[in-house]
């Protein structure tokens, strides 16, 4: 495995490999890697000759500067995990390397990016599209891997690829959970033991709501989740929305669409956690 910090260096290595007919998979990350990331890397390693993992805490997607400062940076540990999982290259550029001048590009994929995270984190998805498009331009991968935990992000990246005609296949990978159900997240490292206990309720409520949904309406299920989270000490619900998995617009009835997902964001102390659950799948 090679660790590369410079775009030109990475491109030279990749051009040589592509010239030999090798396929390239890209796994974009912000580091602080865990088993969820490892599952993306394993999938890319299984499906491509070469796997590039980018490790870059992208400042343009943080609308909260404190969050950016507190974001864990663990490159040495990340490299160990990546080597163990068969990555070929770690691309760990500086901010100046990625953004030699301010990136003023504006991406708009409304209405996908105006709801949920888009409403609560203005500018977040613009920053995500800036970095992901930059990585696609630099690496020009055959496939790129993203986790379904960031459900809205995945939908927006698919739309960006469609609208901007990127020649890359987007592969969505299932959420990985701890044995007790908590969705894996780099932010979990910031939870105290008692916050970790509280956070567990998020997935527990979502799982219960799937059973509840089988015999109740969309609005009753919505209320069920909102009430169950709101009564939990230490949790503050930011939003829970039951949406069409493709358009991300709210659904009124289960029969309305074949793909229905519940997306939730909850503050656990100061840590903002997201999760989602599929009620109906294509």
Residue 135 contacts residue 10 (beta carbons within 8 Å) = no
Active-site residue, 37 included:
yes
- The nearest distance, CB 157 to ligand PAF, in angstroms, is 7
Identify which of 213, 215, 239 has the alpha carbon closest to the alpha carbon of residue 226.
Answer: 239
- The nearest distance, CB 154 to ligand PAF, in angstroms, is 9
Identify which of 19, 230, 24, 260 has the alpha carbon closest to the alpha carbon of residue 144.
Answer: 24
176: which DSSP letter?
P
Distance CA 211, CA 65 (A): 39
Q: Which of 34, 37, 142, 165 is catalytic?
A: 37
Distance CA 60, CA 105 (A): 11
Q: Choose the stretch contacting ligand PAF; rule: CB under 6 A; options: 17-25, 26-34, 212-220, 255-263.
A: 26-34
Q: Choose the stretch contacting ligand PAF; rule: CB under 6 A; options: 124-132, 217-225, 251-259, 263-271.
A: 124-132
- Contact positions with ligand PAF (CB under 6 A) in 55-114: 58, 61
In the bound state with ligand PAF, the residue whose beta carbon lies nearer, of 150 and 159, is 150
Q: Choose the stretch contacting ligand PAF; rule: CB under 6 A; options: 70-78, 127-135, 208-216, 250-258.
A: 127-135
Which one of 4, 25, 26, 28 is in contact with ligand PAF (CB under 6 A)? 28
By DSSP bridging, strand 260-268 and strand 271-280 are antiparallel
Largest CA distance in the chain: 59
Terminal-residue alpha carbon distance, the chain: 38
- The nearest distance, CB 128 to ligand PAF, in angstroms, is 5
- The nearest distance, CB 145 to ligand PAF, in angstroms, is 10
Binding mask 133-172 for ligand PAF (x = CB under 6 A): -----------------x--x-------------------
Q: How many CA atoms within 13 Å lie on the side-chain side of 147? A: 25
Give the burial class of 185: count Cβ atoms within 10 A of its Cβ; 0-12 exposed, 13-18 middle, 19 or more buried: buried
Contact call for residue 275 and ligand PAF (CB under 6 A): no
Active site residues: 37
Which residues would be at the binding site for ligand PAF (CB under 6 A)? 28-30, 58, 61, 128, 131-132, 150, 153
């Amino acid at each position: 495995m090679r660790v590369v910090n410079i775009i030109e260096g990475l491109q030279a290595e990749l051009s040589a490999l592509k010239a030999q007919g090798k396929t390239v998979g890209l796994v974009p990350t912000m580091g602080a890697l865990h088993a969820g990331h490892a599952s993306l890397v394993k999938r890319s390693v299984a499906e491509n000759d070469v796997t590039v993992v980018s490790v870059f805490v992208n400042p343009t997607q943080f609308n909260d500067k404190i969050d950016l400062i507190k974001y864990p940076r663990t490159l040495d540990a990340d490299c160990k995990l990546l080597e163990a999982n068969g990555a070929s290259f770690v691309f760990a550029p500086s901010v100046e390397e990625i953004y030699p001048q301010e990136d003023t590009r504006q991406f708009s994929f409304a209405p996908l990016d105006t709801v949920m995270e888009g409403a609560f984190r203005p500018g977040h998805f613009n920053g995500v599209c800036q970095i992901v498009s930059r990585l696609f331009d630099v690496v020009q991968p055959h496939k790129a891997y993203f986790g379904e935990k960031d459900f809205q992000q995945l939908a927006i990246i698919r739309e960006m690829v469609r609208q901007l005609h990127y020649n890359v296949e987007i592969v969505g990978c299932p959420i990985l959970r701890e044995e007790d159900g908590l969705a894996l997240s780099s932010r979990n490292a910031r939870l105290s033991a008692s916050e970790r206990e509280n956070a567990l309720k998020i997935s527990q409520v979502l799982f219960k709501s799937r059973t509840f949904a089988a015999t109740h309406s969309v609005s009753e299920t919505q209320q069920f989740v909102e009430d169950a989270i709101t009564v939990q000490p230490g949790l503050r619900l930011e939003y829970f929305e039951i949406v069409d998995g493709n358009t991300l617009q709210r659904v009124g009835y289960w029969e309305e669409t074949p793909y229905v997902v519940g997306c939730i964001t909850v503050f656990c102390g100061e840590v903002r956690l997201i999760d989602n659950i599929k009620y109906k799948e294509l």
